[in-house]
Amino acid sequence: MKTKAIRLYGKKDLRLEEFELPQIKDNEILAKVVSDSLCMSSYKASTQGTDHKRIPNDVAENPIIIGHEFAGELVEVGAKWAHQFKVGDKFSIQPALNFESGPVGILSAPGYSYQYIGGDATYVIIPNEVMEKDCLLAYHGEGFYPASLAEPLSCVIGAMHANYHLSPGSYVHKMEIVDRGKMAILAGVGPMGLAAINYVLHREDRRPALCVVTDVDQTRLDRAASLYTVEFAASRGIELLYVNTAAMQNPVDELKAITYGEGFNDVFVFAPVKPVVEQADAILGFDGCLNFFAGPGDPNFSATFNFYNVHYGYTHVAGTSGGNNDDMVEALKMMSKGLDPAGLVTHIGGLNSVIEATNHLPEILGGKKLIYTHITLPLTPISEFGKLGETNPVFKHLATICDKNKGLWSVEAESYLLANADKL
């Protein structure tokens, strides 16, 4: 089976290549990748090369396939797994294997560490350890893009579960956000912040009474507010506020004033920016937990933290990097019950657009960049479909579909694109 894939050879050395996959072993599975959403982590992997903790040292000789937010269909199932999976099953993958030993290393992950599996490919071989770790997950919903976005959604689910608090007079840690508490999502209208808002609003078991979302870009705030409305939040029992901190004279005082001076129980930081981290620390209430979600590229990144409050105010700090299997299962289950992650997606592209997009990801404004690996398509903002449709009938029809869906991507748009776009 031949595959076409984006392979990493070193720092900023990504190549689109066609090569032969080996015959699968009895404990492996051959799969067709349909969609992959680009992640800032792939940008970091490309930028850092072998300095990245998940990239093997020998990629110059044995390049790896990038991309880890992918979905597709199973094509051939090895005998060992025939009792559990069958040809035609739709799947998503939890890439954070973190197994203790294996052929690549302790932090191995599809999309970073393997020669034959990664999201930016047409066909891949799923190795035995993925199934052994229960990281090959069935997807029973419509389309493919929701399964691609299950991985980023699982990351914010994991962050919510990782926050912790104390019982008064006890040292027992209570994991989770405070139910009916006060939550702040800082720098919260990028792709992952939007995923967090979406999750908070759709969660059934616990949710905050107050959720304040901040940013310094009013356009992005307005888009977030149109996708995840204050009215819908109210119907879920949540007071949702979108706040532009750039318009505030004293953001810390004004944010705390929203809580009547008490501060927030749970604060999530979605940008690795020193002033934002310090602002998050300053608005914590008693027994508040700061979750530093955004992974910095600088290994020396630091910010001031109030240790007086750590001692006397019982404030805490947590950091999460990805979700686990349970988080992925929860994400997929929520999607099957109506959570649509389409609001995260702002750009659509084919496999031919991945190299340029990955190496310049921080410079490309907007949300998630969704790639369909079997087509040729420049990375294109959904907002430009209408203009492009003046000369291109495919874009014209896509614009019509998206316009009736509040400008969002959809299963209908995906199906039309896969049927009508130029094949790779």
Q: Report which of 147, 246, 195, 173 is spatially closest to residue 367, judged by C-alpha positions.
A: 195
CA–CA separation, 318 and 107 (whole Å):
20
| 183 contact partners, CB below 8 Å, separation of at least 6 | 177, 200, 208, 210, 211, 212, 264, 265, 266, 267, 268
Q: Hey, where are the domains in the chain?
A: 1-148+340-424, 157-318
Two structure tokens written together for 281: 């620390």
CA–CA separation, 269 and 192 (whole Å):
10
What pLDDT, on the 0 to 100 scale, is given for residue 118?
98
- Which residue bears the tokens 């997929």? 332
Q: Report which of 212, 394, 188 is spatially closest to residue 276, judged by C-alpha positions.
A: 188
356-378 tens-digit pLDDT: 999 999 999 888 999 999 999 99
What pLDDT, on the 0 to 100 scale, is given for residue 28?
98
Report how far apart the first and last C-alpha atoms of the chain are (Å, whole number). Answer: 16
Angle (deg, nearest 10), helices 218-227 and 191-202:
30
Domains 1-148+340-424 and 157-318 share a fold: no
Q: Which amino acid is at 409?
A: W
Task: Provide the CATH number for the domain formed by 1-148+340-424 in this structure.
Answer: 3.90.180.10
14-51 tens-digit pLDDT: 999 999 999 999 999 999 999 999 999 999 999 999 99
Helix (H, G, I), strand (E, B) or coil at 392: coil
As a residue count, the chain comes to 424
105-151 tens-digit pLDDT: 447 899 999 999 999 999 999 999 999 999 999 999 899 999 999 98
Does the pLDDT value for residue 212 go beyond 50? yes
In the chain, % helix, strand, coil (3-state, to 5) comes to: 35, 25, 40
Two structure tokens written together for 332: 């997929």
Architecture, CATH, for domain 157-318: 3-Layer(aba) Sandwich (3.40)
Q: Which residues pair with 267 in a beta bridge?
A: 184, 290
pLDDT-derived band at 299 (thresholds 50, 70, 90) equals: confident
**For the whole model, what pTM was predicted?**
0.86
Q: Mean pLDDT across the chain, nearest whole number?
A: 94
227: enclosing H helix or E strand: helix 218-227
Q: Report which of 315, 249, 319 is spatially closest to residue 283, judged by C-alpha positions.
A: 315
Sheet (strand 2-10) strand order: 13-20, 2-10, 64-65
- Which residue bears the tokens 């496999």? 351
